[in-house]
Amino acid sequence: MSMNNPFHNPAFSMSAMTAAINFLPNQYGRLDELNLFPLKPVRTRQVTVEERNGVLSLLSTQPVGSPGTVGKRGKRSLRAFNVPHIPHEDVVLPEEVIGVRSFSTESELETISGVMADHLQTMRNKHAITLEHLRMGALKGVILDADGSELADLFDSFRITPKTFDFQLSNKETDVRQKCIDLKRYMSNALKGERMSGIHVLVSPEFFDLLSGHDKVKEAYHLWQEGAALRDDMRSDFRFAGVRFEEYSGEASDADGKSRRFIAAGEGHAFPLGTLDTFATYVAPADFNETVNTLGQLLYSKQAPRKFDRGTDLHTQSNPLPMCHRPALLVKLKA
């Protein structure tokens, strides 16, 4: 190992650091826990989504020996989306590794690796909450940048009118069960032949309080398990009429320090679970010489010495594009 600059060690190469930052635990991301947006690596910085308005119909019986029915081709349309490029940088200063040199031992490398891991974990967390913000945008149909500017409007791109259900929870006479059934019927029709295992709704704390405190809901739960749902904390898994509601309080600060909630007060966003190919996160390769024409990874990391070796610059980047291939299934709820 070079004693002039320990970062010349192969342990701090681009491939090693990229593997390390992808191995670090994700400290934030409910949508990541739900595995709603599986990763799909691509080789380019632009993703083209093909839409097929296929026709599903019943096949009629035919006499033996007669020709079969002819399948109808669905119309195809292509839509291109640019993959966002999200770089982030930090620096390891000499003061952070002063006093750790020990000749011909591995302790120096281990200590410097620890310092590097601390920096990478902090950077990893920032990328994680940024990805959560982008995925929540895709779940709402409009992907926004950190400053609130629009990156992609899925409804406009697919020429779909956004669907909103007003639950009218402030009205004590509202039939909440019927509202849930109407939501399920709409989602089933919007699947267009796709399957789902259930409906999940992420709601704001205000929406959840109005829902769980509604007279009709409380009456329905009164005799179920002796009213356990009315006594316990059900914010993470509140089921009513076959729909799962979950309180979601995700938020983050932008570059100006202004906190932004991912779900507005009194709102919720419904989506299907268990579909085949409704959601995805496309990840493009980094803009490094080493990554040209390679399949993208979620995160990349690289280091380089500063001028006069006055520290080491750390560079991380992510190139993710969360996507919903069926925006008609993205339903907004209002309390």
What pLDDT sits at residue 66?
A: 62
Residue 325 lies in a domain: yes
What pLDDT sits at residue 3?
A: 46
What pLDDT sits at residue 56?
A: 43
Residue 273 lies in a domain: yes
C-beta neighbour count of 24 within 10 angstroms:
17
What pLDDT sits at residue 195?
A: 87
Residue 156 lies in a domain: yes
Residue 58 lies in a domain: no
What pLDDT sits at residue 303?
A: 87
Residue 211 lies in a domain: yes
Q: Are 138 and 323 in contact (CB under 8 A)?
A: yes
What pLDDT sits at residue 254?
A: 74
Instruction: Tell me how far the alpha carbon of residue 311 is from its chain's centroid.
Output: 34
**CATH number of the structural domain spanning residue 170:** 3.90.1690
Residue 91 lies in a domain: yes
Cα 171 to Cα 167, 230, 289, 335: the distances in Å are 9, 20, 61, 10
Rg (CA), the chain: 25
- Can you list the residues of the chain whose pLDDT is less than 70? 1-11, 27, 51-66, 68-77, 98-110, 223-233, 255
What pLDDT sits at residue 57?
A: 45
pTM: 0.85
Residue 234 lies in a domain: yes
What pLDDT sits at residue 25?
A: 72
What pLDDT sits at residue 161?
A: 93
Q: Which domain holds residue 186?
A: 6-51+78-334
What's the chain look like in SS3?
Answer: CCCCCHHHCHHHCHHHHHHHHHHCCCCCCHHHHCCCCCEEECCCCEEEEEEEECCCCCCCCCCCCCCCCCCCCCEEEEEEEECCCEEEEEEECHHHCCCCCCCCCCHHHHHHHHHHHHHHHHHHHHHHHHHHHHHHHHHHCEEECCCCCEEEEHHHHCCCCCEEEECCCCCCCCCHHHHHHHHHHHHHHHCCCCCCCEEEEEECHHHHHHHHCCHHHHHHHCCHHHHHHHHCCCCCCEEECCEEEEECCCEEECCCCCEEECCCCCEEEEEEECCCCCEEEEECCCCCHHHCCCCCCCCEEEEEECHHHCCEEEEEEECEEEEECCHHHCEEEEC
Residue 240 lies in a domain: yes
C-beta neighbour count of 316 within 10 angstroms:
24
What pLDDT sits at residue 2?
A: 43
